[in-house]
DNA sequence: CAGCATCCGCTTTGATACTG
DNA sequence: CAGTATCAAAGCGGATGCTG
């Protein structure tokens, strides 16, 4: 990218990560940890392969991303964030917070990955009863699964289905988002298990 | 801008503010409040005038910026952030925090505005003695002045010189940044007034 | 002068095809 | 799997011109 040429902390940050797709590449690496090229591609529908390659190269050069060759049995390349790159988490979090209200409507033909729900889940769910035994919720949005577990007063997320979920919620991505945001009730989704579990995870007063 | 076409809070936020220059336009409006077109241009060295016009139009349409025509005596157009736009402050703040270490070196021919120091000042100074009478510091970097005042345990910033500063620090922008970051001592700058004032504003342990 | 719009060359992006 | 190569289209940057 062309530099803004400004001696300003914001401009200099954007000189490094302001290029198109960069912050979404970082989102994927934050959500998935060390990833293969094709997995990144899968999590970034719409990116052209030459751009993904170019962005990874540039981010590596900037010290945000590292590339490690796994040894022969695995024989694949893994991309991860450096420590410096992981410090971008607050930037991505605040972008997600600001963008969350825009999730109220789904644009025509917008792609979806269950992983992406994690950005919203971490902002909109807490554990209000941290002394009780931990609970696990499985979210199935548009058929893709994601797991939410209570941990230290907050929640953790993992890709894929849960092993022994206390509650499974499933429905369209829009409805799952609606329930997370507090705009819809659990009853607007198909559920299996104890629906009370979700009330435990919702903040005192539902946020916008 | 072309949409990412992803049903994700981060991607949707970037659909609105991810275009080149957008976040710097927002930085200016956060720092200066209601501004005229030409003042924005002055605070955004390097932007092409057609791009500034186009970005303001797009941000207005997206509900981030408002344009008000001031009545005949003033007869000028003022641009400001909407409430929704002002909520981008945390995004800009986290970008500034991440970019702050990059300020250690000043690229060749990088432009500078004293205003921009405010982003770093708000992150790196606090009032450790909030019960004492308030103090005022004037920063003069590359000849441009900015005022820092203690307020409620933190600090506030204003453009321009102070009226009765307790301390005036002046020097090159790089050195002023170095002192704010704790890499340099007050003695590396020209100072007038009580240098102890700065120790009051520096956090317990100097941050990176 | 403030607030743009137009034009034009250059760079970046996007889509697709192809490769070790 | 992890990219490179190619090329058209879109976006950007710089200069300049126009309008109240």
As a whole number, mean pLDDT of residues A121-141 equals: 95
Contact assessment for residue A146 and residue A138, using Cβ atoms and an 8 Å cutoff: yes
Considering only CB atoms, which chain B residues are within 8 Å of A16? 99, 102
| Residues A99, B10: C-beta atoms closer than 8 Å | yes
The dihedral sign for the CA sequence A140, A141, A145, A147: negative
| Residues B6, A116: C-beta atoms closer than 8 Å | yes
Provide the percentage of residues in chain A whose pLDDT is more than 90: 90
pTM: 0.95
pLDDT tens digits, B162-181 = 999 999 999 999 999 999 99
Residues 6+ apart with CB under 8 A from B5: A45, A46, A107, A109, A110, A111, B11
Torsion angle defined by CA atoms of residues B96, B80, A2 and A111, in that order, rounded to the nearest 10 degrees: 90
Contact assessment for residue A147 and residue A177, using Cβ atoms and an 8 Å cutoff: no
Question: For residue B205, what pLDDT is reported?
Answer: 62
Question: For residue A135, what pLDDT is reported?
Answer: 95
Nearest to residue A138, comparing CAs of A119, A120, A157, A113? A157
CA–CA gap between residue A39 and residue A34 (Å, rounded): 10
Cβ count near B205 (within 10 Å): 6
Question: For residue A205, what pLDDT is reported?
Answer: 62
| Residues A13, B113: C-beta atoms closer than 8 Å | no
Min distance A179 CA to chain B CA atoms (Å): 15
The nearest alpha carbon in chain A to B141 belongs to A7
pLDDT tens digits, B52-61 = 999 999 999 9
Question: For residue A39, what pLDDT is reported?
Answer: 96
Closest nucleotide to A58 by C1' from CA: C12
pLDDT tens digits, A56-85 = 999 999 999 999 987 776 778 999 999 999
Smallest CA–C1' distance to D15, residue: B48
Question: For residue B97, what pLDDT is reported?
Answer: 98
List strand D contacts in A 45-64 (CB < 7 A). Answer: 48-50, 53-54, 56
CA gyration radius, chain B: 19
Positions of strand D less than 7 angstroms from a protein CB: 1-6, 10-17
Considering only CB atoms, which chain B residues are within 8 Å of A11? 24, 99, 116
| Residues B113, A8: C-beta atoms closer than 8 Å | yes
């Amino acid at each position: 990218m062309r530099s803004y040429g400004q001696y300003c902390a914001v401009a200099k940050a954007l000189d490094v990560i302001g290029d198109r797709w960069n912050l979404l590449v970082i989102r994927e690496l934050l959500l998935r940890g060390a990833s293969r090229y094709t997995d990144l591609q899968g999590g970034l529908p719409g990116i052209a392969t030459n751009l993904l390659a170019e962005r990874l190269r540039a981010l590596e050069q900037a010290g945000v991303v590292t590339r490690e060759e796994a040894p022969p049995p695995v024989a694949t390349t893994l991309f991860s964030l450096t420590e410096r790159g992981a410090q971008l988490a607050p930037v991505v979090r605040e972008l997600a917070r600001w963008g969350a209200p825009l999730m109220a409507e789904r644009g025509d033909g917008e792609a979806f990955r269950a992983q992406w729900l994690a950005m919203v889940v971490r902002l909109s769910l807490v554990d209000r009863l941290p002394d009780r035994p931990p609970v696990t919720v499985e979210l199935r949005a548009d058929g893709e699964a994601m797991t939410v577990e209570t941990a230290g007063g907050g929640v953790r997320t993992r890709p894929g289905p849960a092993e022994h979920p206390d509650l499974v919620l499933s429905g369209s991505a829009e409805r799952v988002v609606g329930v997370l945001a507090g705009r819809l009730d659990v009853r607007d989704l198909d559920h299996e298990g104890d629906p009370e579990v979700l009330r435990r995870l919702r903040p005192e007063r539902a946020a916008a």
